[in-house]
Amino acid sequence: MHDEPVVVADGLRKRYGDLAAVDGISFQVERGEIFGMVGPNGAGKTTTVECVEGLRRPDEGRVVVLGLDPWRDARALRERMGVQLQTASLPQRIKVGEALDLFASFYRQAADGNALLERLGLGDTRSAYVSQLSGGQRQRLFVALALINQPEVVFLDELTTGLDPQGRHAIWDLVREMRAEGATVVLTTHFMDEAERLCDRVAIVDHGRIIALDAPATLVRQLGAQARVVFEVDGLQADGSPGPAPSRSSPTRASKDGAGQLNLASLGVLDGVLRVERAGERVVVYGQGDGLVSAVVHALETDGVRYWNLRTEQPNLEDVFLALTGHSDAAALGTAVTVAGPVVH
């Protein structure tokens, strides 16, 4: 029994009017893994995970969680699962300790609420009003509520949205602890880096469908070795020509009189370069081969372009997503524009 998948989703579909929010999604989650659904907002992740939790009813398809039907066997399943909802809320004017004790009382077996609060760094907040908590504390409280019944499977929906970097790292550590204690974790996120760091396997979701499903490292490897050279140029205008003189001091190269013109098209035709993307002042050159960095630097120096912060980056999950969908994760890249190189679909 312990070899059976914890979650089985098969052919899920859900429409809202004309929109196919979930358009044929199937996957399985193995016991003890951290499984992620990653994709842009509106991709269908929350709808899918709420169908799996039994909070929404799919129009088509089959769901099995811990061997149970989330709709028919709802009460039995809810004893064994933990849920952190995207639109998480509690009654107004409730205090932290009261909320935790209340939820603990709903289950046959509950963990020690105080110990759980301590573990989540909320030990001091027991008598505080939930409305007084900071964003990060609130999020951790809802994680506590998801764990109060020591669940076998935990569903986390957009766990770190709105948190500062410190808060995000704290939550990531928590999720790893959950796995260490034997729980299976299913999470959704629109942060590619979060999915890459945390998940054992990841399903990339776009427009209601899964377009890739595997371990993040495998997906990246399958993309093909493709390095990135990234740098920033001051004052780029919409057509790629430089604007007024740069305002920052200490350029990487001793300046000539006047800044050189950055010609993105000429970068695009360099040896080994696959494509060039620009987002605001950030330029990303995708390519292969060992000579990529020096070729780019040479081109920039020859044109007398002032550039900052030049670095190379390894391919990551975001690149996988871009390659598969041809559009960017707006949160990460802002408004990205492909200037040169082949169009990727």
Partner 1 sequence: MRGLKNLMWVQFILYLREPAAFFFTLAFPLLCLLLFGAIYGNEPAPAFWGRPIGTVDASVPAYIGLIIGTIALMNIPIETAANRDSGALRRFRATPLRPITYLVASIAVYFLLALLGVALLVVVGKLVFNLKMAGSWPAVLAGFALSALAFFASGYVLASVARTARMAQTLGMLIFFPMIFLSGAGMPVQMLPAGLQEFSKLLPLSYVVKLMQGLWFGDGLAVIAMPAAVLCGLLAVGVVLSARLFRWE
Residues that bind partner 1 (CB under 8 A): 53, 55, 75, 78-79, 83, 85, 87-94, 98, 101-103, 105-108, 145
Bridge-based pairing state of the strands 201-206 and 34-38: parallel
**Which residues, in sequence order, are bridge partners of residue 311?**
230
Q: How far apart are CA 223 and CA 324, in angstroms?
A: 9
- Whose Cβ is closer to partner 1: residue 146's or residue 299's? 146
Say which residue the tokens 């893994």 belong to. Answer: 33
Other beta carbons within 10 angstroms of residue 266's beta carbon come to 14
Nearest distance in Å: CB 105, partner 1 = 4
Residue 294 tokens, joined: 């020096």
Nearest distance in Å: CB 260, partner 1 = 55
- Whose Cβ is closer to partner 1: residue 78's or residue 201's? 78
- Whose Cβ is closer to partner 1: residue 88's or residue 339's? 88
Nearest distance in Å: CB 97, partner 1 = 11
Which DSSP letter does residue 91 get?
A: -
- Whose Cβ is closer to partner 1: residue 53's or residue 329's? 53
The C-alpha R_g of the chain, in whole angstroms, comes to 24
- Are the C-beta atoms of 151 and 6 separated by less than 8 Å? no
The alpha-helical segments, DSSP class H, found in the chain are 45-53, 74-80, 96-104, 113-119, 135-147, 165-180, 192-198, 216-222, 264-268, 292-303, 317-325, 330-333
Nearest distance in Å: CB 83, partner 1 = 4
3-class SS string, 230-293 = EEECCCECCCCCECCCCCCCCCCCCCCCCCCCCCHHHHHCCCCEEEEEEECCEEEEEECCCCHH
- Whose Cβ is closer to partner 1: residue 108's or residue 256's? 108
- Whose Cβ is closer to partner 1: residue 108's or residue 345's? 108
Q: How far apart are CA 272 and CA 163, in angstroms?
A: 39
Nearest distance in Å: CB 234, partner 1 = 45
Nearest distance in Å: CB 318, partner 1 = 31
- Whose Cβ is closer to partner 1: residue 37's or residue 81's? 81
Nearest distance in Å: CB 88, partner 1 = 6
Q: How far apart are CA 81 and CA 75, in angstroms?
A: 10
Q: Is 175 exposed, middle or buried (0-12, 13-18, 19+ CB in 10 A)?
A: buried
- Whose Cβ is closer to partner 1: residue 148's or residue 171's? 148
Nearest distance in Å: CB 87, partner 1 = 5
